[in-house]
């Protein structure tokens, strides 16, 4: 049998095999067997080099015709399978079922927590303010009593745009701007927004969200700070949560305090009950406490920088929104907030 006759015989063979195929898998197998790189047609085309130079053009032309014909047969059979499958699906389709509406989206968990915290303070009479994310050194550091050699100014911590211009490292500059705008007490503001630092791991990202609060008026005391933050913590995590203050240091507050709440996973016990007995709480590492924010009484040097009477009294505080959201919703990896996984986000709809 000549090579051209062998080519022509492929048509009949493929037709017979296609007629017997009963599934898409069988159809794919036939397509590979006849038209694949190692298929029947390719094997015959490999014999082209053995032909006389005069016979090669006719063989090549015939091979192209056969290839087009085989491809058309396979595609036609494929369309038959698709039409059959569509008919079968129509037989099982119930037109009386309600339609499935596309998910319209929802607020991000970070946004939910941010709005909730701002709402708590708005009910207390605070104004929500905003400001630029690209800040001057004066607003971000100098007015907040950061000395020129403070480690926070280092390039490894702060993202510098140019000399004296930075991506804000906290939302405290908005407190400075609020006092400069109002010129004198009283000032009661809550300042949410994005901040930027050179960090990236399980618990830190280069961009995250903070909320700063500031209250300046006559006779503001540490007791006012404690009462306000206790109210906020119990509004967020429930009335049973306990709050404690630990001495700390921040350049813009004196005295300063870190604020902890009793662990929401173990109830402040340091352990959780399991089938095997008692297990150490991995969230609070058996301490029973979780740090949520820093706070303190505004340092007189900050009042001087904005032109307020240094005898003024006030308190300020700042918290990381993602950390609060992780505690509130029991989320173990900070990066989940930035992955845009719809299955994750739909849980907060």
Enumerate the domain spans of the chain: 3-92, 109-348
Give the model's pLDDT for residue 269: 84
pLDDT in tens, 32-90: 887 888 888 788 777 777 777 777 788 778 778 888 888 888 888 888 888 888 888 87
CATH of 109-348, one of 3.30.1300.10, 3.40.50.2300, 3.80.10.10, 3.30.930.10: 3.30.930.10
Give the model's pLDDT for residue 155: 57
The yes-or-no verdict on residue 202 having pLDDT over 70 is no
pLDDT in tens, 300-320: 999 999 999 888 999 999 999
Give the model's pLDDT for residue 287: 87
Give the model's pLDDT for residue 80: 84
HSE-up of 189 (CA within 13 Å, CB side)? 22
Q: Cα–Cα–Cα angle for 8, 20, 38, nearest 5°? A: 50
Give the model's pLDDT for residue 260: 92
pLDDT in tens, 73-84: 888 888 888 888
Mean pLDDT of the chain: 86
Give the model's pLDDT for residue 125: 94
Q: Closest Cα to residue 66, out of 24, 6, 17?
A: 6
Give the model's pLDDT for residue 200: 62
pLDDT in tens, 112-162: 999 999 999 999 999 999 999 999 989 999 899 888 877 776 655 788 888
Give the model's pLDDT for residue 156: 58
How far is it, in rounded angstroms, from Cα 276 to Cα 307? Answer: 62
How far is it, in rounded angstroms, from Cα 310 to Cα 304? Answer: 6
How far is it, in rounded angstroms, from Cα 168 to Cα 158? Answer: 8
How far is it, in rounded angstroms, from Cα 301 to Cα 179? Answer: 13
How far is it, in rounded angstroms, from Cα 56 to Cα 7? Answer: 14
Q: What is the mean pLDDT of residues 200-227?
A: 87
Give the model's pLDDT for residue 195: 92
Written as one string, the DSSP assignment of 315-342 is EEEEEEHHHHHHHHHT---GGGGGS--H
pTM above 0.85, yes or no: no
The yes-or-no verdict on residue 201 having pLDDT over 80 is no
Q: Return the beta strands (E) in the chain as ranges.
A: 127-128, 134-136, 160-162, 165-167, 187-196, 207-217, 243-250, 253-262, 271-274, 277-280, 289-298, 313-320
Give the model's pLDDT for residue 204: 66
> Which of residues 108 and 48 earns the better pLDDT score?
108
Whether omega before 186 lies within 30 degrees of 0, making that bond cis, reads yes
Residue whose pair of structure tokens reads 């968990």 in the numeric block: 109
Q: 241, 234 in Cβ contact below 8 A? A: yes
The yes-or-no verdict on residue 236 having pLDDT over 70 is yes
Task: Indicate the range of 107-111, 114-118, 228-232 predicted with least confidence.
Answer: 107-111
Give the model's pLDDT for residue 347: 85
């Amino acid at each position: 049998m000549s090579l051209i006759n062998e080519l022509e015989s492929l048509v009949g063979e493929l037709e017979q095999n296609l007629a017997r195929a009963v599934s898409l898998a069988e159809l794919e197998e036939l397509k590979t067997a006849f038209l694949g790189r190692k298929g029947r047609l390719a094997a015959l085309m490999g014999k082209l080099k053995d032909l006389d130079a005069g016979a090669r053009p006719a063989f090549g032309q015939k091979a192209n015709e056969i290839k087009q014909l085989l491809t058309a047969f396979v595609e036609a059979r494929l369309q038959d399978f698709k039409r059959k499958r569509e008919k079968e699906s129509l037989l099982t389709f119930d037109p009386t079922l309600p339609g499935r509406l596309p998910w319209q989206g929802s607020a991000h968990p970070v946004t939910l927590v941010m709005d909730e915290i701002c709402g708590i303070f708005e009910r207390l009479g605070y104004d929500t303010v905003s400001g630029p994310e690209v800040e001057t050194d004066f607003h971000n550091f100098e007015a907040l009593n950061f000395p020129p050699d403070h480690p926070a100014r280092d390039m490894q911590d702060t993202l510098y745009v140019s000399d004296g211009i930075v991506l804000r490292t906290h939302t405290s500059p908005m407190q400075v701007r609020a006092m400069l705008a109002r010129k004198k007490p009283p000032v009661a503001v809550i300042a949410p927004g994005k901040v930027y630092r050179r960090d990236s791991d399980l618990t830190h990202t280069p961009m995250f969200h903070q909320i700063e609060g500031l209250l300046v008026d006559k006779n503001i005391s540490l007791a006012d700070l404690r009462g306000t933050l206790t109210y906020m913590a119990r509004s967020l995590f429930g009335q049973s949560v306990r709050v404690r203050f630990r001495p700390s240091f921040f350049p813009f507050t004196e005295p300063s305090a870190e604020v902890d709440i009793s662990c929401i996973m173990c109830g402040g016990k340091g352990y959780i009950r399991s089938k095997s007995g008692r297990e150490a709480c991995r969230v609070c590492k058996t301490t029973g406490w979780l740090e949520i924010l820093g706070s303190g009484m505004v340092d007189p040097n900050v009042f001087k920088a904005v032109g307020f009477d240094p005898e003024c009294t006030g308190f300020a505080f700042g918290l990381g929104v993602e950390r609060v959201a992780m505690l509130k919703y029991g989320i173990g990896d900070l990066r989940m907030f930035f992955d845009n996984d719809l299955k994750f986000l739909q849980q907060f709809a």
